Amino acid sequence: MIPLGGLGEVGRNMTVFEFGGKLLIVDVGVLFPDTDQPGVDLILPDFSPIRDRLDDVLGIVLTHGHEDHIGAVPYLLRLRKDIPLLGSALTLALVEAKLKEHRIQPYTLTVKEGQKEDLGPFALEFVAVNHSIPDALAVSISTPAGRVLHTGDFKMDQLPLDGRLTDLRAFARLGEEGVDLFLCDSTNADVPGFTPLERSIGPVLEQVIAKAPRRVIVASFSSHVHRVQQVLDAAAAHGRKVALIGRSMVRNMGIAEQLGYLRVPTGVLIDAKKAADLPDDRIVYMSTGSQGEPMAVLARMANLEHQIEIGQGDTVILASSLIPGNENAVYRVINGLTKLGANVVHKGNAKVHVSGHAAAGELLYCYNILKPKNAMPVHGEIRHLVANAKLAQDSGIPETNTIVGENGIVVDLRDGVARVVGQLDLGYVYVDGSSVGEISDADLKDRRILSEEGFISIFAVVDTQTGRIVAGPHLHARGFAEDDAVFDDVIPKVRKALLEAAENGTHDIHALSQVVRRTVGRWVNTQHRRRPMIVPVVIEG
């Protein structure tokens, strides 16, 4: 078993299982970029360990329809289009819509809880779990080497909106039969107690919408069907119409309604273009952008770059939790909206969201019900994985049987014993526009320098034999200083340095370029305490 993503991070979930030379993959998700990765759209798992073995892949099991579990499927299927996809009806519908944009027609097998399927040496059994998206599944994977239970993302809401509970009876039966390795969602492992009920959010949303004097904008994940359902119901109860904003929100909710997962009250949903004709106190916008993504609807509203202009008396509800690493971006959007006069309601000042992940108390129940021989926490940053491992040990699993690893760890399961046998060196694969994997960490470093320190270019034409400057040096800067006159002092230094280099026998254009770079760099660092990107261009004249 090799996790290619999802360990030490919240996202990029992907785990590869191998038996008898055949491979099974569980989830192929994306990670969203951090602020120190400018220009990057998505981050993919590193497929390099399986790139030359794609013909051995028997199938991809998708536990649920969130981007951090399905978002990278198109990029893997580009390498081999006919890998079968297994998942629930909603999960596969969301994946198929995504693949359609990439012009890929997938091979799919719809499965549901209680169903068993054999893929080569892998005997699969699917178990219902409750999460913040309908139709989530855990998967039991059995081979002659033992049984692995992978939860995917889950919680144990005892009064779920759709009535679909995490099937603890199936967990107990699997535990009786014997679970050799338990791969368990760790996202809330460091949160004590139990995750609050999803249905506790409905009355709060209804109360906020009832009191709102003007327009209401609710931001959530574009796949959070339960939250959209609650917003539709609250709007209907107070005579408001709902308009969906954002391409992914419109697409996903259309799929959810078509499959029967979203019940739209008659006449409540309207086209966004017609919403502007309604009185301000009769409309609710349901949008994307709850994580502060710069190109999502809510951030564009905060920056006055959207046709919906936020104003005094508008109410904005952020109905989602913060993904670790997104805090600054979200608070930037909150501040922007507040400055425009909006009343911003979020998890910090009202109960408008509950997590989709099991807290420590729920995880302990699972460990006690399953009594697995070995545990390996997945899906979480390192603090989450360590907290989950501690819960496993508290429930009686020996420390020697608890594995806390990072992406690329190689774990062998044999005769009920799991042990670490290797570690692969994996990297990040960046999606930047239409390019995949062409952006390196060095490129990102250059981008960070450009964004923080600025850019200076120096152009000069030099007689390489005499060192005499035929033209220039001409110096141009961006993001460094408003007036290029600040460089008047350094131009004589560049002339002098080039002349001295020629007198000392330096006639190579590249070497002269480095002389210019060092001269300007030393001056900028000494005089301005800055380290901009310096691009010298020296031409032989």
Convert the pLDDT of each residue in 124-135 to its tens digit. 999 999 998 999
Tell me the three-class secondary structure of 424-478, residue by residue.
CCCCCEEEECCEECCCCHHHHHHHHHHHHHCEEEEEEEECCCCCCEEEEEEEEEE
- Per residue in 217-244, pLDDT tens? 998 888 889 889 999 999 999 999 999 9
Residue numbering of the annotated binding site:
353-357
CA distance 97 to 115: 24
Own/partner long-range contacts of 347-351 (Cβ < 8 Å, ≥24 apart)? 347/318, 347/320, 347/321, 347/322, 350/204, 350/208, 351/196, 351/200, 351/201, 351/204
As a whole number, mean pLDDT of residues 173-181 equals 96
Question: Residue 454 pLDDT > 60, yes or no?
Answer: yes
Give the count of beta carbons closer than 10 Å to the beta carbon of residue 447.
18
**Residues of each annotated binding site for substrate:** 353-357
Question: How many Cα atoms occupy the beta-carbon half-sphere of 330 within 13 Å?
Answer: 22
User: Is pLDDT at 517 greater than 90 in this prediction?
Assistant: no
Distance CA 223, CA 251 (A): 9
- State the pLDDT at residue 450: 62
Q: Which of 200, 205, 114 is nearest to 158 (CA)?
A: 200
Dihedral Cα 355, 356, 361, 367, nearest 10 deg: -160
Using alpha carbons only, what angle is made at residue 162 by residues 161 and 164, rounded to the nearest 5 degrees? 115
DSSP codes, 293-330: -TTSHHHHHHTT-SSS---TT-EEEE-SPPPTT-HHHH
Checking if the pLDDT of 143 tops 90, the result is yes
Residues 23, 58 contacting (CB under 8 angstroms): yes
Give how far Cα 19 sits from Cα of 61, 68, 118, 429, 514, Å. Answer: 16, 26, 13, 27, 55
And the tokens for 418?
């799991």
pLDDT at 37 over 70: no
Domains of the chain, start order: 2-193+355-436 (3.60.15.10), 198-345 (3.40.50.10710), 454-540 (3.10.20.580)
The residue whose two tokens read 């892998």 is 122
Count of CB atoms within 10 A of residue 271's CB? 10
Among 402, 420, 413, 319, which residue's Cα sits nearest to residue 363? 402
Residue 337 has pLDDT above 90, yes or no: no
265-298 per-position pLDDT tens digit: 998 999 888 888 899 889 999 987 656 465 577 8
For 428-452, write each residue's pLDDT tens digit. Answer: 887 776 556 566 676 666 666 666 6
Gap between the Cα atoms of 314 and 217, Å rounded? 8
Q: State how far the alpha carbon of 457 is from the alpha carbons of 313, 460, 478, 539, in Å.
A: 49, 10, 9, 13
- Asked if residues 130 and 88 have their Cβ atoms less than 8 Å apart, the reply is no
Q: How many whole angstroms separate alpha carbon 2 and alpha carbon 184?
A: 15
Predicted local confidence at residue 489, as pLDDT: 75
In 3D space, the residue among 336, 339, 249 whose CA is nearest the CA of residue 300 turns out to be: 336
**How much is the pLDDT for 481?**
64
pLDDT tens for 79-124 read 999 999 999 999 999 999 989 988 999 999 999 999 999 999 999 9
**386 pLDDT band (50/70/90 cuts)?**
very high
Residue 403 CA to residue 151 CA, distance in Å, equals 16
Instruction: Write the CA distances from 187 to 220, 303, 341, integer angstroms.
Output: 19, 31, 34
Q: Given this model, what pLDDT does residue 109 score? A: 95
Chain-centre distance for alpha carbon 338: 26
pLDDT at 447: 63
More confident residue, 30 or 350: 30
Band the pLDDT of 256: cuts 50, 70, 90.
Answer: very high
CA–CA dist 135, 252 (Å, integer):
14
Let me know: does 136 contact 164? Beta carbons within 8 Å.
no
CB 209 within 8 A of CB 238: yes
If one compares 61 and 473, the residue with the highest pLDDT of the two is 61
The pLDDT of residue 384 is above 90: yes
Residue partners of 41: CB distance under 8 A and separation at least 6: 33, 431, 432, 433
Mean pLDDT of the chain: 86
Confidence class for position 372, pLDDT limits 50, 70, 90: very high
- Report the pLDDT averaged over residues 34-39: 63
At 470-491, the pLDDT tens digits run 777 777 777 666 566 677 777 7
Residue with tokens 């497929």: 47
Mean pLDDT value across residues 336-362? 86
Element (H, E) at 367: helix 360-370
Provide, rounded to the nearest whole percent, the portion of the chain with pLDDT above 70: 89
Per-residue pLDDT, 413: 95
